[in-house]
Structure 1
């Protein structure tokens, strides 16, 4: 995985539109916007869409005074659209930039982030540069579950092929930070081309490859940080919303993931217990090997991405949680009322 390098200033001359959709983000938007305004980049604008928030998001936005900021109020959500996609679609319509930076409202950037990202994108001639941020984990379950994102990404996805392969199936993006060239964004049809996709970042990345534009997914942990979820219920609901949809509603894909997580992380403990009960030394030894190999791999990834490595020894708990989330994601989208997120409900027949 390529790593973003610090460039304090740039003379690229590219105008950047920073586009931030915000729905009920009163806890995050102030820090996010402050970090954007501190950027050491000469030519950028900030457009924020208040997506029909029911909290104090708009009041907080109104307290900022800067010629770079433009605040717009979102239109009511039309049928067939996912909320974030429609918000981003409205934002791009207002943007003037050569580059369009879609940024989640719960992200915080270091000062040289935009300059470094634009320089990287210019040098690599990317259509889309998406960064993997440093994911902040505070609570027990955040620390146990969130780092599994890095583990799954590095172990199950051939990251070097994201850039090299032309196959759109080998594509990933992170909606927390997506820097498009305007040409690429317009070529792929923007968010309107996948208006009902709830896991829009992955599908945008697939579209980039489909249209033979260059995609790079890079390590941005030293430039962008984000706390995805603030509570156990947020972790549960957020992952439940995305899991089954992220697998394109594939039952076989879901089954493979569940079996794989069980066999890799839980089964070695089951066999270890049997080995201890039956005093089977060979089974004990093989079970310990099976237990520690994923632990060691996760420790290396945790150190690389600055995550708490001691939670690597709790892989069985993390995996149990993920398996439960996977089953719940299938349940709510197939048999329940759909995924609920920020006061909006999405049923499978709407978001397919």
Structure 2
């Protein structure tokens, strides 16, 4: 049994190294040669904002300074209880392209952010829509870079991971859970050609899309009950035949997604559970994935234990070697991807800890859903 388990871990480790190598080479090819997009098509920047007084000004000033000139900037104040709206009104006097929209009360049957995004979509004038979060800060070429990639690759939706700012090692370990996609799950180069909904990815901090494609899928109405709005949107595009793609954004935008460990845990467990479909088949698949992830997380400790036992019983030597191979290749893959996405060296070195935390976040989130407690986000309960 131990030999079988160690062989599986070795296979996953080698697969991870191959997948990560492919993905990082693909990402490099996307970002290496790009030219500023010079079209005059209007891009609507859409920023949903709920209680964002600490971050909204820096975000908007970075968007007002974009090198891509043909913009309108819409900020929807989603019933904020702080000074978010007042800050935006002040900035409106500095830039005629900036407009504050007072959000309507949350409509029954909708998630809060999706309702905000739907309102922004309906009031936009651009040929393209650029959704971004209020806690992001963009470099001057952020939109020009995105428009260039959309044009070059003939895509309808573009997203990608920003550079994540984290105040502590603990927060960094939680946020680096996003590396699960490029190291263990999505073959991004192949996905650009196949456009499978399962492998379609997006992150709400950077979503640039063609408005006509969003209109064709009915806006956000078909997604209104979803918890994980970004990934669900990318999958909806793929299902309807609109090309979506994922690219590195670390050079053009950064974000402090979570200021506290508790906030990071709560936010990420919501996202992890939000992409998991309910039902018996889904439950069995997730159960298998959880078991495998737990094995991967403790593989270094198992390797050490079997190595010690092999001194007295050589039957443990081969499983120890397989475990060592799997642990080493997975660790190297995770560390490589972490450095590519600008995580700190300590975070990059502790990938096995992050994998264990992913399991904890999923299990705790599943408990909240099964007991009906739901997730609390921006002061709202998401069942």
- TM, length-normalised to structure 1: 0.92
How is 1:112-261 mapped onto 2 (pairs within 5 angstroms)?
Answer: 112-249=141-278, 250-261=282-293
Residue in 2 that maps onto 1:106: 135
Larger deviation: 122-131 or 35-44?
122-131
Report which structure shows greater RCO (CA 8 Å, sep ≥6): 2
CA distance in 1, matches of 2:265, 2:196: 32
CA distance in 2, matches of 1:243, 1:148: 10
CA distance in 2, matches of 1:167, 1:288: 33
Q: After TM superposition, give the deviation of residue 8 of structure 1 in Å.
A: 7.6
RMSD value, Cα: 2.0
Q: Does 1:329 align with 2:365?
A: yes
SS at match of 2:48: strand
Q: Does 1:290 align with 2:326?
A: yes
- Report Cα offsets for 1:306-345 as digits up to 9, x if no partner: 2223333323322222211111110001114111111100
Q: Is the 8 A contact 1:269 1:291 kept in 2?
A: no
Larger deviation: 271-280 or 17-26?
271-280
Q: After TM superposition, give the deviation of residue 103 of structure 1 in Å.
A: 0.8
Q: After TM superposition, give the deviation of residue 182 of structure 1 in Å.
A: 1.4
SS at match of 1:132: coil
Describe the shift of the 1:288–1:120 C-alpha distance in structure 2 as closer, same or farther (beyond 3 A).
Answer: closer
Describe the shift of the 1:86–1:159 C-alpha distance in structure 2 as closer, same or farther (beyond 3 A).
Answer: same
Q: After TM superposition, give the deviation of residue 59 of structure 1 in Å.
A: 2.2
Describe the shift of the 1:11–1:288 C-alpha distance in structure 2 as closer, same or farther (beyond 3 A).
Answer: closer
CA distance in 2, matches of 1:108, 1:4: 19
SS at match of 2:160: strand
CA distance in 2, matches of 1:133, 1:44: 21
Residue in 2 that maps onto 1:350: none
Q: Is the 8 A contact 2:161 2:341 kept in 1?
A: no
Q: Is the 8 A contact 1:254 1:326 kept in 2?
A: no
- Report Cα offsets for 1:266-318 as digits up to 9, x if no partner: 13313423543674572654443333221111121122222223333323322
SS at match of 1:72: strand
SS at match of 1:173: coil
Q: After TM superposition, give the deviation of residue 6 of structure 1 in Å.
A: 7.7
Residue in 2 that maps onto 1:49: 76
SS at match of 2:352: helix
Identify which of 272, 280, 288 aligns with 2:304.
272
CA distance in 2, matches of 1:337, 1:145: 22
CA distance in 2, matches of 1:6, 1:96: 30
Residue in 1 that maps onto 2:375: 339
Describe the shift of the 1:292–1:55 C-alpha distance in structure 2 as closer, same or farther (beyond 3 A).
Answer: same
Residue in 2 that maps onto 1:311: 347
SS at match of 2:197: coil
Describe the shift of the 1:160–1:7 C-alpha distance in structure 2 as closer, same or farther (beyond 3 A).
Answer: closer
Residue in 1 that maps onto 2:109: 80
- Report Cα offsets for 1:34-53 as digits up to 9, x if no partner: 11011012210000001111
Describe the shift of the 1:119–1:314 C-alpha distance in structure 2 as closer, same or farther (beyond 3 A).
Answer: closer
- Report Cα offsets for 1:88-119 as digits up to 9, x if no partner: 00011111001011111111111011122112
Q: Is the 8 A contact 1:8 1:112 kept in 2?
A: no
- TM, length-normalised to structure 2: 0.85
Q: After TM superposition, give the deviation of residue 172 of structure 1 in Å.
A: 1.2
Q: Does 1:61 align with 2:88?
A: yes
Q: After TM superposition, give the deviation of residue 60 of structure 1 in Å.
A: 1.9
Unaligned runs of 5+ in 2: 1-25
- Report Cα offsets for 1:53-75 as digits up to 9, x if no partner: 11221222222122011001111
Unaligned runs of 5+ in 1: 348-352
Identify which of 29, 32, 40 aligns with 1:13.
40
Q: Aligned residue pairs: how many?
A: 347
